[in-house]
A and B are shown apart, each in its own frame.
Chain A
Amino acid sequence: MKQKTTIEIVDQIDVSQVYGELSHPHSGGVCVFVGSVREFTQNEQVMALEFETYKAMALKEMAKIADAASQKWTLNRVVLRHAIGKKEVGEPVVVVGASSAHRDACFEACRFLIDTLKERVPIWKKEIFKNKSVWVSATP
């Protein structure tokens, strides 16, 4: 049987994988968020993003988020997957999702998963511009 929760930090994300991981005979709805590399930040052109993580802690925090979502909503499957390393414009960097009997629960859970991941999970993103690179959100 498939695991209820899939938590991963990977080098490369394959977005076609997630439907199979979230589909479930008791689910009538599957909701997925994919975050990808955007070319412009405040009108500056981004060449690439580079992600690094404190992996042991990140996996723990991601598992806690999945647990918290499963407490708040009745979910059949949950996925949290983040990529690390250098990512070019357009590449997927994070995919989270949930499936549930009806759509309300998975829509709400999906938003919670990505918002909480961005708040708590020890992953850091560096924006690489033509002539400089900047750790995102590091300074006020």
Chain B
Amino acid sequence: MEVLLFGIAKDIVGKPSFRFEGEDAPPSSVSELKKRMKAAFPELERLSSLAVAVNSEYAEDGQSLKQGDEIALIPPVSGG
């Protein structure tokens, strides 16, 4: 499972995407994804907010994730 990264999240992780691989199952929900990303990259905790997009739509914490979804971390937006 791949997670797209932008803005400060990309800088914190150090690359434009992060892949869950190996023996652990990939996160099955938005909240689990956030928890595991924050555990792996504690600096994500410092952000004012952290949202997740699933298939390019904002997703609620309870939403489940499945193989093939396009997933992205959305740090605080600052367009305009």
Residues of chain A whose beta carbon lies under 8 Å from any beta carbon of chain B:
35, 51-54, 56-58, 60, 82, 93-94, 114, 117-126, 135-140
Let me know if B76 is at the binding interface, CB within 8 A.
yes
Residue contact B6 to A124, C-beta cutoff 8 Å: yes
For A138, give its contact among B4, B48, B72 (CB under 8 Å): B48
Residue contact A124 to B8, C-beta cutoff 8 Å: yes
Give CA–CA (A42, B79) in the complex, Å.
18
Given A135-B8, A135-B11, A139-B48; A54-B76 close (CB under 8 Å): no
Give CA–CA (A56, B71) in the complex, Å.
12
Let me know if B19 is at the binding interface, CB within 8 A.
no
Give CA–CA (A138, B80) in the complex, Å.
15
Give CA–CA (A117, B70) in the complex, Å.
22
Q: How many cross-chain pairs have Cβ atoms below 8 Å apart between A and B?
A: 81
State how many angstroms separate the Cβ of A121 from the closest Cβ of chain B.
Answer: 5
List chain B residues, Cβ under 8 A from A35.
80
Give CA–CA (A137, B46) in the complex, Å.
12
State how many angstroms separate the Cβ of A51 from the closest Cβ of chain B.
Answer: 7
State how many angstroms separate the Cβ of A6 from the closest Cβ of chain B.
Answer: 17
Give CA–CA (A73, B75) in the complex, Å.
31
Residue contact B79 to A51, C-beta cutoff 8 Å: yes
Residue contact A137 to B56, C-beta cutoff 8 Å: no
For B56, give its contact among A56, A82, A135, A136 (CB under 8 Å): A56
Select from chain B the residue with minimum beta-carbon distance to A83: B79
